[in-house]
Amino acid sequence: MASWCVRAVRQSYCLVASPAFVRAPPRLLCTAAQRRNGQGSEEEAEKAEQTTPEKTLAEEKTQMEEQLKEMTEKYKRALADTENLRRRSQKMVEDAKLYGIQGFCKDLLEVADILEKATESVPKEEVTSQNPHLKNLYDGLVMTEVQIQKVFSKHGLVKLSPEGQKFDPYEHEALFHAPVEGKEPGTVAVVTKVGYKLHGRTLRPALVGVAKAS
């Protein structure tokens, strides 16, 4: 009985002192550490998975904002171009209404010139009641000239007779420059042919002689 007890004690001591038994706890500790590390990696992976969609959405949002800004700028430019085109078209239509008759007006200017020359060629001293035929003819010419000038004014055609005015190259055409007594240099001294403006635009410049310093 005693020998059996001794053997049991020896077996228990050997079991406790066994290398396998001694090394077991570190393995358990390593396994626990690995499990903890695994849980941390999984949490980091979950966080990364959550961060990636948010980043993608932010990038898509930025891209869409840039596209919206670009489209807005293109839309504004298109509106501005359309408005400019509308204004130019409207201006062309208005100019066509105003100046579409300038060819017809130029032809009528020749008629007005003939009437003016006809009235100027009549000797004023002979226009008396003693010469009724000439007087009636002269009065008719004067009335016709007055009426045609009224028609011209009604349609925006204005006569230019710039004697004594400062020479303007946009309205006058200088035929000569000569010293003229009593005239300031640079002013119109003689008008050989009157000019006309249609709605502020020179239709025919006045033919003039300009005074210069002697």
- Considering the domain boundaries, does residue 174 fall inside one? yes
Other residues' Cβ atoms within 10 Å of the Cβ of residue 76: 10
Residues 71 and 151 in one domain: yes
**According to the model, what pLDDT value does residue 210 have?**
94
**According to the model, what pLDDT value does residue 24 have?**
44
> Among residues of the chain, what percentage have pLDDT more than 70?
76
Confidence band, pLDDT 50/70/90 cuts, at residue 35: low
- Distance between start and end Cα atoms, the chain: 165
Residue 168 has pLDDT above 90, yes or no: yes
Residue range(s) defining the domain that contains residue 172? 157-213
Residues 142 and 163 in one domain: no
Cα dihedral 70, 72, 78, 79, rounded to 10, equals -160
Q: What is the CATH number of the domain that holds 86?
A: 3.90.20
**According to the model, what pLDDT value does residue 43 have?**
60
Q: Give 151-156 contacts, CB < 8 A, sequence gap 24+.
A: 152/105, 152/108, 152/112, 152/196, 155/101, 155/105, 156/98, 156/198, 156/199
- Range scoring the smallest mean pLDDT among 28-32, 95-99, 132-136: 28-32
Q: Which of 140, 155, 170 is the last residue of a domain?
A: 155
Residue 16 has pLDDT above 60, yes or no: no
Residues 146 and 182 in one domain: no
* Cβ–Cβ < 8 Å for 199, 173: no
Residue 20 has pLDDT above 70, yes or no: no
Q: What is the mean pLDDT of residues 60-87?
A: 91
Could you give the number of structural domains in the chain? 2
- Considering the domain boundaries, does residue 28 fall inside one? no
Confidence band, pLDDT 50/70/90 cuts, at residue 47: low
Q: What is the mean pLDDT of residues 81-104?
A: 86
Q: What is the CATH number of the domain that holds 193?
A: 2.30.22.10
**According to the model, what pLDDT value does residue 46 have?**
58
Confidence band, pLDDT 50/70/90 cuts, at residue 41: low
Residues 151 and 69 in one domain: yes
- Considering the domain boundaries, does residue 9 fall inside one? no
Residues 114 and 195 in one domain: no
Q: Take residue 61 and report the two structure tokens written for it.
A: 């949002």
